[in-house]
Structure formats: structure tokens, C-alpha cells
Chains A and B, each alone.
Chain A
Amino acid sequence: MNFAITKEPINVQEVIDKVVDRDAGAINVFIGTVRETTRGRKTLYLIYEAYESMAVKKLEQIGREIRERWPGAKVAITHRIGRLDITDIAVVIAVSTPHRPEAYEASRYAIERIKEMVPIWKKEHWEDGTEWIGDQLEQVPYPSGKPEVKDSDE
């Protein structure tokens, strides 16, 4: 279970423990947290929801992509859903690799892929309203019916 969606607070150490490897020279840990201010607007809290079964599959796919690109890598990702308050941890990505540069690169790759194609959504609750956030850049249409990025499974 290296790839998980959870309704509970994420235990960072548990995610790290999944990628511990005697051949690893580095473990890179990315922790995504809930930010209070976005473009001057104050967030009170977020609600995350997921298409859970597909989201787990897509996280597994990211893991496979990373192991293909960076041989020897181990990956674990946990994403939390439900209500999250400011500073709460939304996602933890742990990557171990034999050497340090690959751990940084693979970690960055994982979070960018999550933001592209894993079916998880957040609803911002501001002081003056609510909105489902389309994507990180506001609106990216997908004319072809799917994200226009490499999708090694398809």
C-alpha cells in the first residue's frame, strides 16, 4: 500500500518508512500543506474530494513512471481528503533513490503529475464565498479529452 488516499491526518514518518532501502543514498520527502492566502484572498479551510479508486490507480501509475525513469527508485504517496485546515498536510511524497539528484527530480515529477491527472479536487472556502478549484493554473481545457501529457499506461 505505497499509494493511498486517506481521510485521516497523514503520519509523515509512516510514508517515509515505506521507501527505506539499503541501496538508497537519499530519501526526499515532499509535504504539501494548506496555505492561508492565495492571490490576496484568505482561505478559511479546504475540502478535498477524490474519485478514490481511480486516484489510487493513478498514484500507482506515477510510481511506475518514476521507477522507469529513475531505476532503483522507491516511491510512496499519501493524499488526504475531507476537511483540511490551514497548515494541515494534504499530501506526502517520499522517494528514495541510490543517489541524491534523482530523489529531488523524481519527487518534483510526482507532485507535478498529481496536479495534472490524479482525480482529486479541492474546494476553497474563503471568508466571502466558496469555489471548486479547476486546476492550479485556473483553467486548462483538455481538448483531446485527457491531459495532454505522457501517459505511459495508455
Chain B
Amino acid sequence: MQATLPTRTASEGEVSPAAAMIRRMTGLFFVHAFLLAGAVFILLPFVWMLVTSIKPPEEVFSAELSFWPDRFYGLENYGFALTAAPVLRFALNGVIVCTGILVVQLLIAIPCAYALAKLQFPGRHLLFILVLLALCIPIQVPALPIYVALAWLGLLNTYFSMMVPFFLSVFGIFLFRQFFRSFPDDIIHAARLDGMSEFEIVWRIVTPSAWPAIAAFSVFSIVAHWNDLYWPLIVISDINLAPPPLGMMYFADAETGSNYGALTAAATVLTAPLVVTFLFARRRFIEGITMTGVK
């Protein structure tokens, strides 16, 4: 082959070390300028929430733009938020509802997913197709009939009514089934030969190995139900049963009017648990969202 000289354009030949440096630096500058501008937009409500929650009313209501409070009023605002409305009660309700939902979801979904992944039984295909179809149905669709049924049964305004539509997570079944399918059959066979019952195999062999999927699903489930407003708004009218979003809405509407100091204090208290958990378990959170992929 003819050995041609390398083709070099004029601009390539003239790159000096200094120009290369400047080129790199300007690039970095614009990248960070853009990202930081976005970060300010994202953080603005959080920062303002924290700052306002320690401001006295006269500063909140002054039309002047001031960042840091002249007078620390945090104790009063948080005190008011915790006493005037049962904010801690809201948080506790959130914990109860989220835990209840998650536990039942796991208890129901894991054996079902195992059966779908590893066992032969009549109706297996039908069940799986139903699961796939149900994946498309958001809670707002069956909400109406379920509400009517709960009303007939006199079960409105109970923890049970808040949790029951979510006891079955078709998404959990789907996720765990995918995970279990890659579990080696040989280990299950070995466990059967060792005399383990199918029940023990599910809970003592297969489930521990699915820990990443379970953690991801838990993150997904807790974030979804801690923050859910639609369903509690429908079935709960007793404020003592309200989970955080409903409680926040009630607090914003009724108690405080425009007492923004107390309002932001309440918002801080109700947002904090998930945000703090996120800061400590960032990897798990991000994995959870990535793995689950849908919201």
C-alpha cells in the first residue's frame, strides 16, 4: 500500500500547550456554571424552607429580600408546628402505613414470584399475564370501586383502608420473578435433596439471595407511600390518622392560614425522614430507583 503522509488540518498543527490548557479550563467553567445554576434551582425551595422555618413572622411578612433571619425564631415555629397540629402523629401514621404496606407486599409477592419463576402449577401463565396487565393500571383506576366497597363495609377512616389497595404489588411480583429466575436451579434441587420444604426454600434460601432486589423494592415502596396523597385524601377524614402529605395539606389549609414560619417548620419535619435516609443510603436509593425504573 502507498504510504501516504498523515493528514493534518491546519488547526491541529497549531495547538500550543497554553491553548490546550485554556481550552480545557473554559470547558470546565461552562459545565460547572450550568450544573450549579441547575443546582440552585433545585435547592432553592429546600434552602428557603429551612431559613423560613427559623424566621419570626415580622421578617417572613416583610417584603424585603433578606436571607438570614435577624432574630432566631426556630423554637417557636417548630414548637407551634408540633403542638398546633399533630405533626409527629402524621409522621408516625406514615411509618405505620408504610411498614404495614411493605410487610404485606413482601409476604404476598415473594412466594408468588417464586412460584411463577420456579414452580409448575395450573394457571401459571394466566396469572403472569394478569400481573403484566395489572402493571399498567394506576391506583386511581380501581380507587372508586374499592372506596365504595370500603364504605359499604364501614371501614373508611382506618389504617386498614389506607393500606389495603396496596397489599398486592404486581410490580413487586414482576421484579422478584425476574430476580428469582436467575437463581440457580441446582441450589434449589440440592435444598430439596437435603430435605427442606418448599416453604423453607423460599424464605431461607431464595429470599436472602434476593436482598438487593428487596432493598430496591423497599425504597421504591416506602418513597411512594410516604409521599402518596391521593388515596389517603379519599379514605381518611379523621386528622389523627392522616399520613404526612394529608396532614401537611390539612395543616396548610386550616390551622395556620399563612403562618409560613410554622408551615415550613412542619414541612421540614415531614420531609426530613426520607431526605435524611436518602443522604445516608444514597447508593441504595439510586439503585432502587434505577432498578425499579418506574414510579
Do these two chains interact?
Answer: no
